[in-house]
Structure 1
Amino acid sequence: MNFKTLEKINQLEARYCKNCLIKKIKRDEESRTQAHKFCISECSVGLKIRSHGNQLQ
């Protein structure tokens, strides 16, 4: 397993995703599923995390 890649993902999540206002609003106004879809398909940080995750496969 590539621990450097996991560390990058954890750092991005801790820095940008943990207190993300957009994610919170999406969850409150729409649903958790819609918030997740936004994060993995539209958010620049989410896309970066996703690309790092693809390297783990």
Structure 2
Amino acid sequence: MCQVESMMKQYCDGCFLHQYLKKEGGRRAAHRFCITQCTVGERLQEFGKRLT
């Protein structure tokens, strides 16, 4: 859990790309990008799979 939180603080908080996509395409588009195309999002998903 600490690794996930640390990664999110380091890379996701204040992410310029997420903010831009949210402004241009909405929250869903930005979230979809983070889950499917962002390398940090992919790593976070891997951590999540290990937790379950």
Is 1:53 the counterpart of 2:9? The answer is: no
Structure 2: give runs of 5+ residues left out of the alignment: none
Structure 1: give runs of 5+ residues left out of the alignment: 1-5
CA root-mean-square deviation = 0.6
Is 1:34 the counterpart of 2:29? The answer is: yes
The one of 35, 39, 42 aligned to 1:44? 39
Is 1:8 the counterpart of 2:3? The answer is: yes
Query: TM-score, structure 1 length as denominator?
Result: 0.87
Identity of aligned residues (%): 29
Query: TM-score, structure 2 length as denominator?
Result: 0.95
